[in-house]
Amino acid sequence: MTASSDPQSAASRGQGVRHAFAVREFRGLMLAQIASEAGDQIARVAIALIVLSQTGSALLAAATFAVSFVPTFLGAALLGPIADRFSRRGLMLGADIGRAITIGLLALVAIPGTPLWLLFVLLFVAELFTPVFDSARSASIPDMLNDPTLVTSGMGLSRSLHLSNQAVGLVLGGVIVQVTSARSALCIDAFSFLVSFVLLFVFLRKRPSALSSTQSVVVLLNDLVEGWTLLMSDASRRALVLLGWGMALAVVAPEAVALAYVRDEGLGDAWGGVLMATVIAGAAVGSIVVVNRPTRSQVDSLLPLAIAVCLPLLVTGLEPPIIVLIVLWACSGFAQAFLVPLMSFTTLLTRNEHRGRVVGIASAGFAALSAVGYLLAGAIADLTSPAFAVVVMAVIGLFVASVALILWPQSSLRGDIAGLRSSVLVDDAVVDDAAGA
């Protein structure tokens, strides 16, 4: 391996995102992510607009997004351990094929008069493949990049691309549905998964599973219980994950009611996509900014950024002009960058053979509370107004961040993160000594 592509030598020169992307395997993973995620968001907006047009209910429109989180909750918790016992590459390839087929079926039935429950069921089935894919992808990144500094940069890049893809997809979703049809949007999504499959097949190396495979559901359930114990018995990981879970309600609130908000204001549906994309675009920029900060700075920024997520959302209650709201929601999205080091450190603080189950449980909890956030915001919007719903969720977020501020294990978290880099330096020294001998 040359110096330019060696993750560890790149890290030693302090060059993060650029050198992470220079690793061929990781680059292929990111290209596949770009191919699939924008199409996925186009499909979700298409279905949400179908539901909103047929029912006029903010709650049911928000439920469209919530449905996509429920399978992640169930699947990440129950199927996350599979990422430890089966080939992660194989799991990602299989998930892409499964999603392509299911979304293709959804495109066939997305016509006027189709019962809403059928759309929800097919969307639910399609999203069942997502947690398996995400757990396998997250657990694979440390194998590809092989150094804490690059892993943090790589996960930050992945998060930023994820958010950028969402932003692009949300804007395009509203436009494509207005210009063509919901079926066209869904066909684009199905094709995007086929492109992702090809890229993963070409770029990803075959690796054995971290643990021996099993056909026993009991073993997987035992893995799940063990993952929960590992997660909650460690003060640093527990604090990180609980903060992410608690902030989920505030994080999803703007997206949950954006489509209903613009209709209440007498604006076109495309503005709803723009509002949702604004939050996500802000988060994408924030993710890149945060991961380029020193590791200790990332740790110290977690709580301030979590608080900053909520403050701009409080102004939504005044129902400011749409341009002002775009700026406010972009600032809130920028602060969502705290999720990047949160996810990276949770992964890095977990041994390789346990990452699938621990990351799966962490993802499941966040997905479950995100679904609750969508439904709660939609229900409050129907009872009061979309603007007031955002304010309520922001207040809940501030409460969570305040409790975390009191209980935060700052010293132990700093020590654990510092220990990651020390262990890599020790390993490097052993390799250098052996080479010299």
Q: For the chain, count helices (H), then strands (E).
A: 18, 0
3-state secondary structure of 86: coil
CA distances from 281 to 39, 327, 332, 387 (A): 16, 11, 10, 20
| Spatial contact of 59 and 76, defined as CB atoms under 8 Å apart | no
Q: Within a 10 A sphere around the Cβ of 16, how many other Cβ atoms?
A: 22
What is the reported pLDDT for 313?
94
Q: Which two tokens stand for residue 300?
A: 């110290």
Averaged pLDDT for residues 152-167: 75
pLDDT at 178 over 80: no
Q: Are 114 and 257 in contact (CB under 8 A)?
A: no
C-alpha torsion sign, points 369, 370, 371, 377:
positive
Amino acid found at 179 = V
* Residue tagged 């604090």 (tokens): 239
**Distance from C-alpha of 132 to C-alpha of 134, rounded to nearest angstrom:** 6
- Residue-level pLDDT at 67: 76
Average pLDDT over residues 231-237: 82
CA distance 181 to 173: 10
Identify whether the C-beta of residue 258 lies closer than 8 Å to the C-beta of residue 276. yes
Query: How many Å apart are CA 423 and CA 414, to the nearest integer?
Result: 14
Tokens of 9: 């030598």
Give the span between the Cα atoms of 9 and 2, in whole angstroms.
9
Q: Is a pLDDT exceeding 90 seen at residue 220?
A: no
Q: Which structure tokens are listed for 56? A: 């006029």
pLDDT > 70 fraction of the chain, expressed in percent and rounded: 82
- Determine the pLDDT at residue 14: 40
Of 222-236, 249-263, 327-341, the least confident: 222-236
Give me 117's structure tokens.
Answer: 């429950």
Q: Which residue is it, tokens 């995102």?
A: 17
**Any idea of the CA torsion for 419, 158, 270, 40, to the nearest 10 degrees?**
-120
Chain centre to alpha carbon of residue 386: 24
Strands (E), 160-316: none
Tell me the pLDDT tens digit for each residue of 117-138. Answer: 888 888 888 888 877 787 788 7
Tell me which amino acid residue 72 is.
T
- What is the C-alpha to C-alpha distance for residues 160 and 288, in angstroms, rounded to an integer? 6
**pLDDT(431) > 50:** no
**Contact between residue 146 and residue 90 where contact means Cβ atoms under 8 Å apart:** no
Residue among 142, 134, 121 at smallest CA distance from 364: 134
pLDDT for the residue numbered 332: 94
DSSP letter for 181, please: -
- Tell me the percentage of the chain whose pLDDT exceeds 90: 17
- Write the single-letter amino acid at 412: S
Residue of 131, 138, 76, 82 whose CA lies nearest to 347: 138
pLDDT at 400: 94
Quote the CA–CA distance of 316 and 250 in Å, as a whole number.
Answer: 13
Structural contact between residues 7 and 147, judged by C-beta atoms closer than 8 angstroms: yes
Mean pLDDT calculated for residue range 175-183: 72
- List, for residues 242-259, the tens digit of each pLDDT value: 999 999 999 999 988 888
Q: Which domains does the chain have, with CATH numbers?
A: 16-428 (1.20.1250.20)
Q: What residue type is assigned to position 94 of the chain?
A: G
